[in-house]
Every structure is written in structure tokens, then in C-alpha cells.
Chain A
Amino acid sequence: MGQPATEADGSLALWVCNRCGWVYAPAEGDPTRRIPPLTAFERLPPDWSCPSCGADRDYFFH
């Protein structure tokens, strides 16, 4: 996953799914997809999708 996200580089920003409102919190990662905590949204794999509604990454904004 490369460099962990930090508060300082701003990559701990929350990203919101614009289809269902689910929030990606880098501090938590996405355990069921084996995404470790402190993974910035930008570093999620390209095929990652919203765990709540299945929307792909393009639906997310921050």
C-alpha cells in the first residue's frame, strides 16, 4: 500500500459515496477488503468499490 497516510499530508481526508452517503475513513481502512488503516483514498486499488452500495470510486468526493 506504499506510504501510510498522515494528518500532515492531508490524505486522512474523509471521502463520501455520493450514491449512498457511506464514508471512507482512512484511519479505519476497509478491513473486509484487506485495506489496512491509514490508507489514503487515493491509494485504494482501482477496482475498489463502495462497500455499502457497490458504487465505484468515481462516485466518491471529499
Chain B
Amino acid sequence: MRRLDSTEIVLSRRQILAASAAAGAVAALPGQASAAKEGASDPSSLAFRQPEHTIADTHRVAAGHQAQVLIRWGDGVAVDAPAFDVFAQSAAAQDRQFGYNNDFVAFMPLPVGSLASEHGLLCVNHEYTNAELMFPGLTLKDKTEKLCREQVDVEIAAHGHSVIEVRKNGQSWQVVAASPFARRLSALTTEFQMSGPAAGHDRLKTKADPSGRTVIGTLNNCAGGVTPWGTVLIAEENFDTYFSGDPKKTPESVNHIRLGIKGKSRYAWSRFHDRFDIEKEPNEPNRFGWVVEFDPYDPTSVPVKRTALGRFKHEAATCVTLADGRVVVYSGDDEMFEYLYRFVSRDPIDRKNRRANVGLLDHGTLSVARFDKDGTMTWLPLVWGQGKLTAANGFASQADVLIDARRAADLVGATPMDRPEDVETNPANGRVYVMLTNNSQRKPEQVNGANPRADNRHGHVLELTPPGAGKGRIGRHDAERFRWEILFLAGQRADGATYHPATDKYGAWLSAPDNCTFDNRGRLWISTDQGSNQRKNAIPDGMYACDVDGPGRSLVKFFYGVPRDAEMCGPAFTPDNRTLFVAVQHPGEDKDSTFDRPSTRWPDFRPDLPPRPAIVAITKDDGGPVGS
């Protein structure tokens, strides 16, 4: 039943949702399923009943599940965090509180190395800020001019990352108070080290850091990954948007323009901080766009930007361990016509001593993907001195290759993709799944096998198969050549979508696949981000899931919907799959939506509070695995 035809039903559902939202949880309601009754003819292994596939003020989840708001923007993180007061927010307070726009989520079991599923650390990225929703009296159009220094510093402090300790009591999750692990990494105060081949290079030096090895802050951390030795990788994505100044007036103009810095920033930061003005500090952008590694189990650990993994707009950084112990890290460059990358470490991991792996990601080979029509793909190494990556083309060393990874990838003939976002390996079958979110700029003459649609507004999912991968076999992820195929093209049938035929009857369509994860049965869980197209498409962003093997392959179902104008991020299962953590990012982000008149006030629904990005813990009423 897709449409409700009774006003009373609509009203009563709203009342129930409002009441349960106020209590911090929303229960799935019966009778919302758009899927038909469970029956033998549904080939999917995912048996949950879908919630209503429409946009609403609050969130909603499949029948038989609970969605509990765990932590929101402004809630305390550090032990000394002051109470949140949205009308008196300060940078000092924000620097100790949960940041804005939560994105990547990693559940790190406690104790370290265990498979604990009821006690652990949640490591959460804070990607960016919506000042017009954080402070009264601003609009989208005037905020850059109106923001004062303190507000800008609140924004900077609201970027970065949070570590919180969480524990499950019965069906409910709680943040552990006064945890020794709790910490904020912020863009305002936290010191980061640079390591690897580009660390200390002249192009990384600034007035504040003549060593080229120490950076304050991390920016636009989108998704991330977890290493086999229990550290967290967080990926710096659209760092270009923070910088103002004319790139042509700097010695780095080709580099800055290639990364999207054109002279105007959507943020006001350069008005108060010279380092965000490239005419004053032309090398500052070179210190962002990296993958950051830090150890959440050591609250005093210094986070490190690993330059060997290259500099671009990293959506994520996800790891696979090879049979010989070396580690592979996949990463997409999230922009239209950009590339898919792979890093293979030189050395194997030390499984006995996790601290011995501290420099493992500083040595290895970065490659970029070329997709050919015959269904094969080739990894092209980005190694200084090889092929065109020489002084003749402006590369004086491997540091230049890494700082200008996009330009190096252009020269070796990589395939421009439809915005590569998350790239994850399925532990059940060894295959790698690439979320290609969309590319409305691809022209008919630019299509290729792996990016087959012009004006690709809905995106698609690619499936890569390394040699030797298959059921229960991880395969050789260091191989030069993989095979590829398209799992499905997204959108509606009229857009040329290619889901399982039974999706129309038993599932739901999606648009703009963004992040993903797998459950213990190897099923693919996808979070979506349609941006402002969410209103045009009239379907909510949220969690969708499908089989990738068996008769239900690519039969997509809708599991959880975000509140109005949010996107879905960070899906992370506990090892037992009995909890799924998700991140609701930028609820209420719309061109007419402000602090004073937001399009939703999720999750508090209090007249004095704006919407707040928050982490949600989803569990099943019967205590079983989520989605089972």
C-alpha cells in the first residue's frame, strides 16, 4: 500500500510518530509495508516489511525494529563538555561536544580485538556544517557575510571526529559517561602529524608549520574505514570548499583549480583565519585531502595523515588483508569524472603486536583503475619515474605524484567515473562493491561500459571480482587485473534501472547510492544521498538492502528512511548484527530552511530547537539480527 487514502490514518500516524520521537525512539508501525505479504514468490532473503517509501518529518524503520536516537549535535563527548545551549553556543563548548553532520560510523568493540557487540567505541566523522541551521538569524544567502568570529570558530570546532564509549542495556544503547576513551578531534584545536613520502615536502610547508609535518585539524571527513589492527581511517573529502582566494595568484594554480578551488568559498572562515585564504597561505590546501589514521583505543594517540595513499577527495578508505598479510586500501575520489584508487602495502601486518603496524600505511603502491569494455579492469600504478610520471611532466619525486594524484591518474589513462563514493569488500564473496552516486554531466559521447548512462542522475553500483574471489574466498586483491560488472543501475524503470525484476513487486527503487556495508550473510546495505534531488524524486534517503548472490540478487528493499532533507550515512553493524548504527546527516537542509524556520525539527521536535544531526541505533524487537 503506497498511498494512504484516509486522512484519519495520516493524522494518527503523525501523532504516534511525534509521540515516539519525543521519547527518543520510533517504533515501526504495522500496515506500512509497500512489499506484498511474505510469501514463497519473493526471491529475496531479506524478509523485513518495508516502511512507507515517502518523505516525512521524522525517521521510520522496517516493521519489527526500533530506531533509537543515541547522540545528537551538541551532546557532551569530552568529560568536561558543558551542557548544550543552542542560544549561547561557544567554540570552546563545541570543541568538547558532539560535532555537526555526523557521517562515517565505526563500531570498535571493547575490549580491543574482541567481537563484543554490546560494549564498544563509536567513532564518528563530522563532515561539514550548516550555519543557517546552527545559529538564529541567518539564511543560506547571507550567512557568509553575517557570521561572526565566534560562530565561525564554532563551525570549525564542529568539524572533525568524535569517539564515544557506548553500552547496550537490554534493547537500549547508552553513551557511557566520563569514559576515558571519549575525545574530540576538531579542526580548531587538534594537532595532526603528516607521514609517508610527502611529509615534510616544501609544498606542505606554511608560515605556521615550517616543518610541513604538523597540521591543525582535519576537514570534510566523509566516510572512512577500519584497519585490521584496530585503528580508524577517516577520509578528507571536499576540502576545497573551505578555501578562498584567487588560485591564479598562487604558485599552485594548476593543482588548486584541479581540486576545485576557484576563488570563492561557501564558508566565511578566511575572513578570520588567514590559512583559509590561498593568496596568503598557498600551500594550506595541500595539507588536506588525505586519509587520516588514528587509534581510538589510545585517547592520547596523535592522528596521522598518511600521504602514501594519495591526495584527492577521499570518500572512504576500506581495508582488505591479503593471504600474505599485506593490506589493501580502496578509496574513491568523490567527484564527477574522477577515479577509483587502490593502495597495497609493502609490508605484512604484525598480528601479534598491533602497535607494530603504526607505519604500515607509509610504504606501498598506489594505483588507479582503468575499466575496459571487455569486462576487465586494470590497476595502473602511480609510481614516480615510471611512464609519464617524470620531471618532464612536472613530477620531481613521489611526493609530487601523491600531492597531485589526480593529475598523475589523468596521465596514466584512468577511467573517469560517475562519482566514486564508498568502495567496500564483501567478506562473504571477496568481491568489491563501488557506489557510483551520479553524474549529471556525462554526455552521450562520454559513456563507457562501466559508466554506461549519459546524464546519470541516479547512479549505479559496480561489482569488482579479484582473481580467486568467490563464496568464502577473499581472492587476490593485489592482482593487476580484476573483472567488473554492473550490479544494478539505480533510479526508476523509466530511467533504465536494472534491479531484479521482482523489485517492482517486493522492493523499492533508490537513487544516489553513497555508503555501504555488509551483514554477516554478505548482503549489501546501501545508504543514499540524493541531495536536493530528494524532493524532486519524492523518495526518502535512507538504508536500502539487497542480496548480491542467489535468486534475490539486486532485489532492492527499503529499510529505514531519514527525516526530511537529511541524507543517510555511516551504516555500521555490530559483530553480531543485532545493532545497526546509522548517521542522520543535515536534517532540514533546504534552501528555505533556517534555524528559525526549519523544514523539520527532528529529533527533538521542540519549538526552541533546530534540527540536529544524530546517530541512530537500530535493533530488532525480538533481539535477533537486524533485517532478518
Interface residues, chain A, with chain B CB atoms under 8 Å away? 14-23, 25, 32, 49, 51-56, 58-59, 61-62
Contacts and interface: CB of A to CB of B under 8 A. Distances in A.
Given A51-B441, A61-B144, A16 B532 contact: no
Contacts of A17: 266
A17 B141 CA distance: 10
Given A51-B440, A55-B591, A58-B591, A19 B532 contact: yes
Contacts of A25: 262-263
A21 B441 contact: no
Contact of A54 (B140, B260, B531): B531
A16 B443 contact: no
A57 B532 CA distance: 11
Interface size grouping (class) on chain B: 20 to 34
A14 B531 contact: no
B161 to A, nearest CB: 20
Contacts of A18: 140-141, 266, 591
B54 interface: no
B531 A32 contact: no
B15 interface: no
Nearest to A33: B441
Contacts of B140: 18, 59, 61
Given A55-B531, A56-B532, A21 B591 contact: no
Interface string B239-262: 011000000000000000000101
B532 A54 contact: yes
B405 to A, nearest CB: 20
B241 A62 contact: no
Contacts of A15: 264
Contact of A21 (B266, B336, B438, B536): B266
A61 B591 CA distance: 11
A16 B264 contact: yes
| A-side interface mostly | loop
Nearest to B242: A21
B533 interface: yes
A49 B394 CA distance: 36
A27 to B, nearest CB: 9
Contacts of B591: 18, 55-56, 58-59
Closest 3 CB pairs of A and B: A21-B241, A23-B262, A14-B264
A59 B140 CA distance: 7
Interface of B: 140-141, 144, 238, 240-241, 260, 262-266, 335-336, 438, 440-443, 457, 530-533, 536, 589, 591
Contacts of B263: 14, 23, 25
A25 to B, nearest CB: 5
A51 B336 contact: yes
A16 B438 CA distance: 20
A53 B532 contact: yes
A21 B266 CA distance: 5
Given A16-B265, A20-B238, A58-B591, 8 more contacts: A21-B266, A22-B260, A23-B264, A32-B441, A52-B335, A54-B438, A56-B591, A61-B141
A58 to B, nearest CB: 5
5 contacts: A20-B238, A21-B240, A32-B443, A51-B336, A51-B440
Contacts of B240: 21
A52 B265 contact: no
B531 A20 contact: yes
A28 to B, nearest CB: 9
Nearest to A27: B262
Contacts of B241: 20-21
Given A14-B264, A54-B457, A55-B591, A19 B531 contact: yes
